[in-house]
Amino acid sequence: MGLAGKRPQAAHGSFFLPCAAGEGDRAKRGGGWGALLLAALVAIASPAFAKPQRVVSLNLCADELALRLADPGVVKSVTWLSQDSRSANMAAKAAALPANDGHAEEALAYDPDLVLVGPFADPASVALLKQVGAPVVEVGAPQTFDGVRRQIRDVAASLGEPERGEALIAELDARLARVAVDLSRPRLKAVVLRPNGFTVGPGSLVDEILTRAGLDNLAARLDIAADQQVPLEVVALLGADLLILDRDENGAPSLADAALDHPAIAALAGRMTIVSLPSRLWTCGGPEVAEAVERLAASAAAARARRATQ
Amino acid sequence: MSARATGAGVRYGPLVAALAALALAVALVSLMVGYARLDVPAALADAFAGRSTAAAVVLEQIRLPRAALGATVGFSLGLAGAALQGLLRNPLADPGVIGVSGGAALGAVVVFYSGLAGAFALAMPLGGVAGAVVAALLLYALVGRGAGTMTLILAGVTVNSFAGALTALALNLSPNPYAAYEIMFWLMGSLADRSLPQLWLALPLTIAGWALLLASAPALDALTLGEDTAASLGFDLGRLRAQLVAGAALAVGAAVAVTGAIGFVGLVAPHLLRPLVGNRPGRLLLVSGLGGAIILLIADIAVRLIPVHPELKLGVATALIGAPLLYSLIDRMRKEA
């Protein structure tokens, strides 16, 4: 029944949906290269018609980008994670929408013309979505600022909102440019502690955020992978100037978060500056990373000032 | 079993002293072992001088609670195992096997993830104790007195799997996205990055539990002569049962609330030491507690030395030793039957 109900929509889709994923499938179903060419022509001639009208997002990071970029009313459903203002950036908008648990079946209920999935989406779910002809765009986990820009651009294109994407990138770059880093002085040494005692090594977005904020990521000296658990005693003895705690402000307790409340960390407060940074600012590689850089740069400046007075 | 004869040669006082010395030595080794290179004497000097250097903080706030909890939790498990085995007159009665630890984990999980733990300081250990009491009462209702080994084990399996399922359910109901992944800690246990406040909170209930269990020694010895004889010697069996269940629940419940459920210690310690005390369950109590402390401390040193990341859960290490032993025990009992 679901499939039968979809067929007219799918035909529309092949005309009005010029974007990347799912295009090949649709072109074949809709009658081959002719349809594809027509779709491309229509897309160029009238970009307004190219926008998907029923977008479902099955991933927190995709939720936020879609809500930032799409017209009101276009996004039909987002994940439940996006609706908590303590752990998500677009909660005000997300809370007004029906929530999903990230399952393919939930997306299909909206008869979507674009489904956004995350980097760790269940392959079976993605296969199911593609099988019934829903175009799927995967939102990744960018590991560099360039990757962040590329991702905004890609998602904006799939939503048919390239100008908004460029505007968002320009705003991100402008905010980053305003963060002044005094390169004449040696960088303060910092280490990140995430829930469950994970730290973040080189080659990651967090590492780039630290560098951009004028900090030197000590985890680079630990010979560890990009994301790895580190015993608390190793963190304590690293000799960092700044200990950056990645706090989820979700409110519900977990052992993972309790690891950041270990009394050893409070006991070290006299020896290093402890900074809490909300997870929502750097979990997804969205434009909110600018705020993470701003806050860390401000903390670094405060730590320097404190050291100068001591 | 004919161990009574073989145990006659070992004297009780020196045995206790030797085990206590060994437990202390292993606890000191536990302080030395860690992931970061720590100058322990220098850290100790800093700590005593009140200098909060990073080394002193690591020693005081991370290594000390880990070693102290290893010793006290191991003692609780070994002691409770010996006491339950004496009460049920069954060498397979271990708090892990019969579901008391599983119940304690459930109690602690409900208190922690519902946010009740923040309500008052003792909420967590009391949650563990409450869970342990419920599991013990359920078990007793199923087993009653003088039930066979088969009934005991089946009842334990039932209580254990039910508690495990409810623990998973409670974790899944938490709105925190990490919670559902934390079942490993509660079912397998760990001493990683535990803290001094957790030790102080667990200690009063733990010591109360130890006192109740150790005080039952004369009654447990009398019980080996049969329930009627014990009763005629003036021991109130109903009171003894209540005392042992309360003691085991206090000691194990408070321990599990801090470290998660760690299996097999209460099985292995009494089994290894029973021959040395001439099969007197009263004397086995203290000895088995010390043995449990030694076993758990060694297991915790091992998980830090084995180069596996993330660190192995303690229950994995204790099961690797304990499960073959449980198997051989059951096998021997089957052959003797």
Q: Which residue carries 């060498």 as its tokens?
A: B91
Flag whether B185 is in a domain.
yes
Flag whether B6 is in a domain.
no
Assign residue B298 the CATH number of its domain.
1.10.3470.10
In chain A, residues 20-59 whose CB comes closer than 8 Å to chain B: none
Chain A contact for B175 (CB, 8 A cutoff): yes
In chain B, residues 188-207 whose CB comes closer than 8 Å to chain A: 192-193, 195-197
Q: Which residue in the set A195, A236, A270 is minimally distant from B178, CB to CB?
A: A195
Q: Are A254 and B176 in contact (CB < 8 Å)?
A: yes
- Cα distance from A267 to chain B (closest Cα, Å)? 7
Flag whether B79 is in a domain.
yes
Q: Are A236 and B58 in contact (CB < 8 Å)?
A: yes
For residues A113 and B146, the model is more confident at: A113
pLDDT at site A222: 80
The domain total for chain B is 1
Q: What pLDDT digit, counting tens, does each position of B80-110 carry? A: 999 999 988 888 889 998 899 999 999 999 9
pLDDT at site A244: 95
Q: Are A253 and B113 in contact (CB < 8 Å)?
A: yes
Q: Are B115 and A229 in contact (CB < 8 Å)?
A: no
CA distances from B265 to A50, A203, B97, B132, B292 (A): 66, 43, 10, 17, 6
Flag whether B324 is in a domain.
yes
3-state percent breakdown (helix, strand, coil) of chain B, nearest 5: 80, 0, 20
Flag whether B319 is in a domain.
yes
Q: What pLDDT digit, counting tens, does each position of B203-244 carry? A: 999 999 999 999 999 999 999 998 889 999 999 988 998 999
- Alpha-carbon distance of A83 to A89, in angstroms, equals 9
Tokens of A302: 């405060």
Q: Are B309 and A81 in contact (CB < 8 Å)?
A: no
Flag whether B152 is in a domain.
yes
Q: Are B58 and A233 in contact (CB < 8 Å)?
A: yes
Flag whether B2 is in a domain.
no
Give, for all 310 residues of chain A, the pLDDT tens digit.
333 333 333 333 332 223 333 333 333 344 455 555 555 554 454 444 578 999 999 999 999 999 999 999 999 999 998 998 888 999 999 999 999 999 999 999 999 999 999 988 888 888 999 888 889 999 999 999 999 999 999 999 999 999 999 999 999 999 999 997 777 888 999 999 998 888 888 888 999 999 999 999 998 888 776 667 888 999 999 889 999 999 877 778 899 989 899 999 999 988 899 999 998 999 899 999 999 999 999 999 999 888 888 7
Mean pLDDT of B271-282: 90
- Cα distance from B54 to chain A (closest Cα, Å)? 6
> What is the domain extent for residue B106?
12-336
- Alpha-carbon distance of B123 to B209, in angstroms, equals 17
Chain B contact for A223 (CB, 8 A cutoff): no
In chain B, residues 81-100 whose CB comes closer than 8 Å to chain A: none
Q: Are A233 and B55 in contact (CB < 8 Å)?
A: no
Respond yes or no on whether ipTM tops 0.90: no
pLDDT at site A14: 30
Flag whether B1 is in a domain.
no
Q: Are A252 and B57 in contact (CB < 8 Å)?
A: no
